[in-house]
Structure 1
């Protein structure tokens, strides 16, 4: 299911003109609808976007053996990547055409280990979307039992896109 979202080569990735021709919300929705390929990190980490609305994005994932640490638990980097993705993309949904963003900083609070093979949602929600910054919070929750595994917060910088070339 997630494979339709993932770019297989650099040529599959949307170019900057495609990115800038859409609002951030349109871009996320087109990726979810399979009109645009998503980043390869989704295949690497085992998560992908499943829902986007203004100010809210959900990524779904199932961490497997390949993202464990030496103690055979899900590595903290998986939590961080999932939360960074959902929170920053939530900020993206607030951007008009011609604007881009990048994560300035983020924080993760791991509450409990995610058992290998457990499917979770990483839910990002915007708290503030301004001209130069966006702030969002996130949660990782089990989809079957709504159990809270981690929380996070981010600050993103919002910028005018640089002209091509």
Structure 2
């Protein structure tokens, strides 16, 4: 998997405006565009994509723990923000993009270090100015529910 190493590796707003959100996500999945550095840093990757649904797969390591030795809430939040917001992205037309306005997560149980999970984001509504999605973090091996989330995104027009 290729990761963006600098801002020069990312598409300009003009280049991005030529792709629908789904085309953009498919290009990342297929390796035509680099994955974001945050996914390397926090050990998760794009696993599945379809219009309105995105799955990231990840595995927390020791480096992601808090002082109590459990996985830090920021790891759950980053995975859910990524999957939910990218589900919104798959519904955005050419010439538009999105950004997260707010998100909320509920951690139901701790993910043990080294356990592989899927963060599943599903778009509920995407219009001209807002997108709403929900998500779950589930164990790959046992389908155990670890966390849930919801997000609201703003949809914006790109220059070009």
TM-score range, shorter chain: over 0.9
Please give the per-residue CA displacement for 1:35-62, whole angstroms capped at 9, x wherever unaligned: 1001100111111111111100000100
- 1:39-58 alignment runs, 5 A limit: 39-58=36-55
- Please state whether the residue corresponding to 2:16 is helix, strand or coil: helix
The alignment status of 1:26 with 2:37, answered yes or no, reads no
How many Å separate the matches in 1 of 2:16 and 2:48?
Answer: 18
RMSD of aligned C-alpha atoms?
1.0
Tell me which residue corresponds to 2:125: 128
The alignment status of 1:66 with 2:63, answered yes or no, reads yes
Q: Cα offset for 1:5?
A: 3.8
Structure 1: state its 5+ residue gaps: none
Contact 2:4 2:37 in 1 (8 A): yes
Contact 1:13 1:38 in 2 (8 A): no
- Please state whether the residue corresponding to 2:109 is helix, strand or coil: coil
Q: Which moved more, 1:50-59 or 1:15-24?
A: 15-24
Q: Name the TM-score, length of structure 1 as normaliser.
A: 0.93
More RCO (CA 8 Å, sep 6+): 2
Specify whether residues 140 and 5 from structure 1 end up closer, same or farther in structure 2 by C-alpha distance, changes over 3 A only. farther
Contact 1:5 1:31 in 2 (8 A): no
How many Å separate the matches in 2 of 1:102 and 1:64?
Answer: 28
Structure 2: state its 5+ residue gaps: none
Tell me which residue corresponds to 2:76: 79
- Please state whether the residue corresponding to 1:136 is helix, strand or coil: strand
The alignment status of 1:103 with 2:85, answered yes or no, reads no
Q: Cα offset for 1:12?
A: 2.1
Contact 1:141 1:148 in 2 (8 A): yes
Tell me which residue corresponds to 2:86: 89
Contact 1:29 1:51 in 2 (8 A): no
How many Å separate the matches in 2 of 1:5 and 1:121?
Answer: 20
Aligned residues between the structures: 160
- Please state whether the residue corresponding to 1:139 is helix, strand or coil: strand
